[in-house]
């Protein structure tokens, strides 16, 4: 018998689901409860190498108030309906707007999009989940607040709440986003509303300025988790500096990454370079300037020889180190001297600033990301092979040259085995690096889909076998990654889950927790 | 003198109602939604153009692309083009956007 639903939540009968849907309609109104295939298409397309039907939602709910969400969780508890919360829903390459498991109901908070407060003096913001970076950017400009955003590369269409809750990164000195989060409001599975930190205290005005409150710090357990639904999110903004100097340093050999990292680490830890530096491989930058098909055709990874031709033709290094200095002109002048001296020592580095590189499209978009300007140019990556297949492979590495070289070589070796290219970069924290590789493949080609899946699986297996953990992963591989962190962490996660959400209604499966 | 006093009090009135309607601690139910798209051009500039005028996606202006086609691509996505949900671009705004794209004959 054909169902009127695209999918049903696991273990829920159609009759019970009918009951839940009619209650959701009472709470939200008919037009905010989506169930038709046409309405759900935008929640179903993913870039992962599995059939989109495996992540098809049964419905999507568009809530706009905390009260509505409290009522929704009551219905979910009654009927045991799992809901997958998204804020701006642009988790592209990590699962997009689709739920972690087939049949889950998406709770879409995009329309809950008020900017509640931006404090110019204390430089913080409090927003609802649906606020995009573009919206906040426009607000700050309109009100001449002189504050900068730190955003991931999908800037304009993504948002601070979803990005930070998945522990995403940006490229300004505030680039490790969760470090700059300050205060959340969370609807718990039982409908209670928790304000974390100072927000728990009635009449407190320090919710967005002091992170810790009193007692165990709770904000962390609501990131990459399924313990609550975040409905307000506070975070710090960077005052616009008087001067900003972006630059790129190019190197010609893959082994040079050792020298690069050894040079950068002290500059980062000592704060000479304050932002999240990116060390991008030529193949990460090439799509902005070139087409893969101009250099290679047929199966197999792109050969090194073709990569060198791309570098020559498009003025790229094999490694391209993007960073910036911020402050007064005097501060920048002093730090620039330190940076150029450090990088000039071996004679291998080519240092370029806006003067030489302003017209270069790769430099231009990186410079925008480093000062909080909107750009989506990095999506050029999707044109490299075409076909819309992408998964981020994101192992963490020490900021130590020998380690980065090892990780790069291992990644490349495994990608090559499956005929895929190394589109990789390292995002430099202070002591760590997020090694970020876009595993690009053609999702319209069943052979490549299969290869990409196996390749990703092997990357996770081989990296964890060597003690390299992954910081974030797409929804098809959450259990696999959770497993690599061992049984004790998994059991603690589960204990918390049972205590906070005994019916398992909130995003079961997120980070392997159910 | 009197006039400016009036202006000031009207201004004060507007300001306080604005502040009240922005005060998130007030009753949630009474609050208006945050952002609303002004017109098709705004959506084009603040979403589509970042990809469609930077060589990420193909040019879509000046091609008289049929509105139904544009709407289908926006809602479903296609290969490298991500879909956009009705919660991001509501149906009415999408209509304005597709009109803008279909009828735009020359801009740059
Ligand atoms: C070309 C390209 C470049 C990218 N570059 C970056 C980058 O530089 N840095 C980076 O971090 N990412 C990057 N990404 C990945 C991703 O697009 C961004 O991280 C994006 O910000 C995530 O989408 P979002 O902000 O809309 O969050 P959402 O999709 O709304 O949320 C992400 C996840 O967080 C959880 N969540 C969201 N809201 C809530 C809530 N209210 N309560 C509880 N849980 C919630 C859910 O599990 C959800 O799936 C890139 C993607 C692409 C395609």
Q: In A78-100, which positions are buried (b, 16+ CB within 10 angstroms) versus exposed (e)?
A: ebebbbbbbbbbbbbbbbbbbbb
- Rounded to 5 degrees, what angle do the CA atoms A429, A392, A284 make? 75
List the domain boundaries for chain B.
Answer: 1-31, 40-102
* pLDDT tens per residue, range A145-163: 999 999 999 999 999 999 9
Q: How far is CA A56 from the centre of its chain?
A: 21
Residues of B catalogued as catalytic:
80-81
* Structure-token match 């609802």, residue found: A128
Provide the strand spans (E) within A371-482: 388-393, 396-398, 424-428, 432-442
How far is B13 from chain A, CA to nearest CA, in Å? 20
Ranges in chain A annotated CATH 3.30.43.10:
14-110
Chain B residue numbers with beta carbons less than 8 Å from the beta carbon of A131 are 34-35
b/e sequence A287-298, b meaning 16+ C-beta within 10 Å: bbbbebeebbee
Is B83 close to A156, i.e. CB distance below 8 A? no
* Region(s) of chain A under CATH 3.30.465.10: 115-239
**CATH for the B40-102 domain, from 3.40.190.10, 1.20.140.10, 1.10.760.10, 3.40.50.360:** 1.10.760.10
Residue B8 has pLDDT above 60, yes or no: no
Q: Which two tokens stand for residue A444?
A: 């319209």
Q: How many separate helices (H) and strands (E) can be counted in chain B?
A: 5, 0
What ipTM was predicted for this assembly?
A: 0.96
For residue A157, the chain B residues in CB contact (below 8 A) are 47, 82, 88
CATH code linked to domain A14-110: 3.30.43.10
Q: What's the topology of domain A243-465? A: Vanillyl-alcohol Oxidase; Chain A, domain 3 (3.40.462)
For residue A205 the two structure tokens come to: 């005005």
Tell me whether residue A471 is one of the annotated catalytic residues. yes
* Pairing status of strand A238-239 against strand A193-195: unpaired
- Taking the CA of residue A124 and the nearest CA in chain B, the distance in Å comes to 16
- B interface toward A at CB cutoff 8 Å? 22, 24, 28-29, 31, 33-35, 46-47, 50-51, 54-56, 75-88
Instruction: List, for residues A7-43, the tens digit of each pLDDT value.
Output: 999 999 999 999 999 999 999 999 999 999 999 999 9
At the topology level, CATH places domain A115-239 in 3.30.465
Q: What separation in angstroms does the CA of B79 have from each of A12, A165, B52?
A: 32, 27, 15
> What confidence score (pLDDT) does residue A502 get?
98
pTM for the full predicted model? 0.95
Kindly report, residue by residue over A259-285, the tens digit of the pLDDT.
999 999 999 999 999 999 999 999 999
Section A168-181 average pLDDT: 98
pLDDT value at B107 more than 80: no
Q: How far apart are CA A221 and CA A228, in angstroms?
A: 9
pLDDT digits (tens, 9 = 90+) for A468-481: 999 999 999 999 99
C-alpha–C-alpha distance, residues A105 and A83, integer Å: 5
Residue A294 Cα to ligand 1 midpoint, Å, equals 32
**Which of A94, A174, A227, A251 is flagged as catalytic?**
A94
| Residue A228 Cα: closest atom of ligand 1 | 43
Query: Could you give the CA distance from residue A218 to residue B30 in angstroms, rounded to a whole number?
Result: 30
Three-state DSSP class for residue B14: helix
Q: Which CA distances in Å does A374 have to A151, A152, A218, A368, B93?
A: 9, 10, 32, 7, 22
pLDDT higher at A490 or B12: A490
- Confidence grade of residue B33 (pLDDT, cut at 50, 70, 90): low
Crossing angle of the two packed helices A257-269 and A329-344, in degrees rounded to 10: 150
């Amino acid at each position: 018998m054909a169902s009127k639903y695209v999918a049903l939540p696991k273990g829920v009968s159609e009759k019970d689901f009918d009951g839940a849907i009619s209650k959701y309609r009472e709470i939200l109104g008919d037009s905010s409860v989506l169930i038709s295939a046409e309405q759900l298409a935008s929640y179903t397309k993913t870039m992962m190498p599995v059939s989109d039907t495996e992540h098809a939602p049964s419905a999507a709910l568009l809530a706009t108030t905390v009260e509505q969400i409290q009522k929704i969780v009551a219905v979910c508890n009654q009927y045991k309906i799992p809901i997958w919360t998204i804020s701006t829903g642009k988790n592209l390459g990590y699962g997009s707007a689709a739920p972690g498991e087939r049949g889950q109901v998406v709770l879409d908070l995009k329309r809950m999009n008020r900017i509640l407060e931006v404090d110019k003096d204390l430089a913080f913001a409090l927003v609802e989940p649906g606020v995009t970076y573009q919206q906040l950017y426009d607000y700050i400009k309109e009100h001449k607040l002189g504050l900068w955003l730190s955003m991931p590369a999908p800037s304009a269409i993504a948002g601070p709440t979803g990005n930070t809750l998945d522990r995403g990164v940006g490229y300004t000195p505030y680039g490790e986003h969760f470090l700059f989060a300050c205060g959340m409001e969370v609807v718990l599975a039982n409908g209670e509303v928790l304000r974390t930190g100072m927000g728990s205290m009635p009449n407190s005005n320090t919710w967005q300025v002091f992170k810790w409150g009193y007692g165990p710090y709770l904000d962390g357990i609501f990131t990459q988790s399924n313990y609550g639904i975040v409905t307000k999110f506070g975070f710090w903004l960077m005052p616009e500096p008087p001067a900003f100097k972006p630059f790129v340093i190019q190197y010609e050999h893959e082994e040079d990454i050792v020298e690069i990292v050894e040079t950068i680490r002290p500059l980062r830890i000592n704060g000479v370079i304050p932002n999240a530096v990116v060390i991008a491989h030529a193949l990460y930058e090439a799509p902005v300037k070139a087409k893969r098909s101009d250099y290679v055709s047929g199966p197999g990874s792109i050969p090194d020889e073709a990569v060198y031709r791309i570098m020559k033709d498009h003025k790229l290094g094999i490694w391209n180190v993007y960073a910036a200095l911020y402050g007064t002109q005097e501060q920048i002048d002093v730090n620039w001297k330190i940076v150029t001296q450090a990088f000039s020592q071996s004679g291998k580095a080519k240092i370029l600033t806006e003067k030489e590189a302003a017209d270069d499209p790769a430099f231009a978009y990186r410079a925008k990301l480093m000062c909080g300007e909107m750009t989506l140019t990095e999506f050029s990556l999707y044109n490299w092979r075409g076909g819309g297949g992408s998964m981020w492979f994101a192992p963490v590495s020490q900021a130590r040259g020998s380690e980065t070289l090892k990780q790069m070589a291992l990644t490349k070796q495994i990608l090559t085995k499956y005929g895929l290219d190394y589109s990789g970069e390292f995002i430099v924290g202070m002591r760590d690096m997020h090694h970020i590789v876009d595993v690009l493949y053609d999702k319209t080609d069943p052979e490549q889909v299969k290869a990409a899946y196996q390749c990703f699986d092997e990357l996770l297996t081989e990296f964890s076998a060597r003690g390299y953990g992954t910081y974030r992963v797409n929804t098809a591989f959450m259990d696999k990654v959770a497993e690599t962190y061992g049984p004790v962490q998994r059991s603690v996660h589960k204990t918390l889950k049972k205590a906070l959400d005994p019916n398992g209604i909130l995003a079961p499966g997120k980070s392997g927790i159910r | 003198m009197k006039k400016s006093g009036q202006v000031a009090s009207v201004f004060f009135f507007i300001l306080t109602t604005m502040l009240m309607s922005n005060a998130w601690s007030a009753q949630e139910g009474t609050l208006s939604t945050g952002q609303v798209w002004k017109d098709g051009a705004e959506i084009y500039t603040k979403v589509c153009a970042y990809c469609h005028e930077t060589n990420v996606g193909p040019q879509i202006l000046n091609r008289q692309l049929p509105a139904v086609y544009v709407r289908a691509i926006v809602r479903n996505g296609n290969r490298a083009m991500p879909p956009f949900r009705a919660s991001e671009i509501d149906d009415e705004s999408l209509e304005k956007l597709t009109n803008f794209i279909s009828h735009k004959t020359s801009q740059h």
